[in-house]
């Protein structure tokens, strides 16, 4: 899967960067081999990674992370809503250790909510989802976990190659994107459809009701890409299909394979989101969450067939967020205090709510696990 076969008009621009990428990776390796000098080391790593692989506008974390990892030479450089990222020493191309926490987020809002044990389960699901993709011919950013990871962190850690997110040109500007495939009409797509809007410029039959099956006669899902802004703005599907036909077709096949796999094991897969990256070999690969309850909507098949559309995934937390108006509260508080780092919501979530989430995630993990035993 050479990226040069898929990048179209971007090929020449990308090809000029390959030699520079190799130099960046070599320099970062040299820095990670030098004696510990916090400020110089961080400044150098930040500058070099931002030059190609790390988004220039994404701020890095300059504080130390887990002491056991730091003593082994791992450098924490980013704290996300749900995980901490460390540079793995002595790896070329650059590899990152993602250490998941129990922090939880929805609607791109960092919350003070922790669901104890969730991210160890989610980490197992993530590895299983990536393994499913690789066994079906799709490369991912996942790499073998280093053997020296402390025992207490292994269950929540994943090694990945640091890659650049794939972009598409929209109105003369390059944008990151999320590739969304839908088997059924619900959520934002149904809301737009009900208002006679067609933001993806696709062909849907008239008079659909919510939860209608919108796959074509060949079983292909409905493709509805969005950008990666906080608003998830729709992208006309033909733009992405024209720019990256091989990628879209390959992911259609993967999604159908996983839909069938989940169905016979008791789950209806409503939709999923893929994020595509470019690795150091200029190949396209999948990264982030792959076929997990963080990126996909699962409903128990027995419930779906009975007309009960209760999501067995992260949607449960999203519904709580809608109930308690988290997005509205966040926007108002953020306007008042731009330095706000999280929304206080933990008092609104009971242990019973947390147990429901854990039960859903354990069910999906154990269902996926049957593929790999």
Alpha-carbon distance of 16 to 20, in angstroms, equals 8
Q: What is the pLDDT of residue 197?
A: 93
Largest CA distance in the chain: 67
Tell me what pLDDT residue 13 has.
35
pLDDT in tens, 44-95: 465 455 546 777 667 777 778 889 998 888 888 888 888 999 988 888 788 8
pTM: 0.84
Task: Write the class of the CATH domain 164-325.
Answer: alpha beta
How wide is the angle at C-alpha 366 spanned by C-alphas 361 and 369, nearest 5°?
Answer: 125
pLDDT digits (tens, 9 = 90+) for 119-146: 889 999 999 999 999 999 999 999 999 9
pLDDT digits (tens, 9 = 90+) for 64-73: 888 999 888 8
Percent of the chain with pLDDT over 90: 61
Residue ranges of the domains in the chain? 164-325
Find, among 93, 96, 269, 57, the residue nearest to 181 by Cα: 269
Find all residues with CB under 8 Å of 48, minimum gap 6, and list them: 24, 27, 28, 31
Cα–Cα separations (whole angstroms), residue 109 to 128, 214, 337, 344, 360: 26, 30, 14, 11, 22
Upstream peptide bond of 93 is cis (omega within 30 degrees of 0): yes
Cross-strand partners of 222:
182
Residues forming a β-bridge with 87: 75, 96
**Residues 212-271 pLDDT 10s:** 999 999 999 999 999 998 788 999 999 999 999 999 999 999 999 999 999 999 999 999
Phi, psi (deg, nearest 5) at residue 75: -120, 115
Residue 349 CB-half CA count within 13 A: 25
Average pLDDT over residues 173-200: 95
């Amino acid at each position: 899967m050479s990226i040069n076969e898929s990048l179209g008009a971007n090929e020449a621009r990308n090809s000029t960067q390959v030699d520079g990428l190799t130099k960046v990776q070599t320099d970062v390796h040299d820095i990670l081999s030098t004696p510990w000098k916090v400020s110089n080391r961080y400044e150098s790593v930040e500058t070099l990674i931002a030059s190609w692989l790390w988004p220039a506008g994404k701020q890095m974390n300059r504080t130390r992370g887990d002491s056991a990892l730091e003593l082994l030479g791992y450098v924490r450089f980013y704290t996300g809503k749900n995980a901490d990222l460390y540079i793995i020493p002595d790896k070329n191309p650059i590899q990152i250790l993602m250490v998941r926490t129990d922090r939880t987020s929805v609607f791109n809002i960092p919350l003070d909510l922790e669901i104890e044990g969730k991210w160890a389960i989610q980490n197992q699901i993530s590895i299983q989802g990536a393994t499913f993709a690789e066994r079906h011919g799709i490369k991912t950013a996942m790499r073998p976990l280093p053997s020296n990871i402390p025992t207490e962190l292994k269950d929540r850690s994943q090694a990945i190659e640091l890659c650049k997110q794939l972009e598409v040109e929209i109105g003369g500007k390059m944008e990151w994107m999320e590739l969304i495939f839908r088997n059924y009409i619900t959520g934002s797509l149904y809301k737009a459809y009900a208002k006679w809007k067609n933001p993806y410029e696709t062909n849907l039959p008239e008079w659909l009701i919510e939860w209608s099956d919108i796959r074509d006669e060949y079983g292909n899902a409905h493709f509805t890409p969005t950008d990666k802004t906080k608003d998830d703005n729709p992208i006309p599907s033909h733009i992405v299909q024209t720019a990256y036909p091989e990628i879209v077709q390959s992911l259609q096949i993967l999604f159908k394979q996983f839909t069938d796999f989940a169905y016979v094991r008791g789950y209806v897969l409503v939709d999923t989101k893929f994020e595509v990256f470019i690795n150091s070999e200029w190949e396209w690969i999948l990264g982030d969450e792959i076929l997990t309850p963080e990126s996909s909507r699962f409903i128990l098949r027995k419930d779906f067939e009975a007309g009960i559309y209760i999501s067995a995934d992260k949607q449960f937390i999203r519904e709580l967020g809608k109930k308690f108006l988290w997005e509205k509260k966040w926007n108002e508080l953020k306007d008042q205090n731009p330095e706000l780092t999280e929304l206080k919501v933990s008092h609104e979530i009971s242990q019973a709510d947390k147990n429901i989430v854990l039960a859903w995630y354990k069910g999906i993990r154990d269902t996926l696990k049957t593929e790999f035993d």
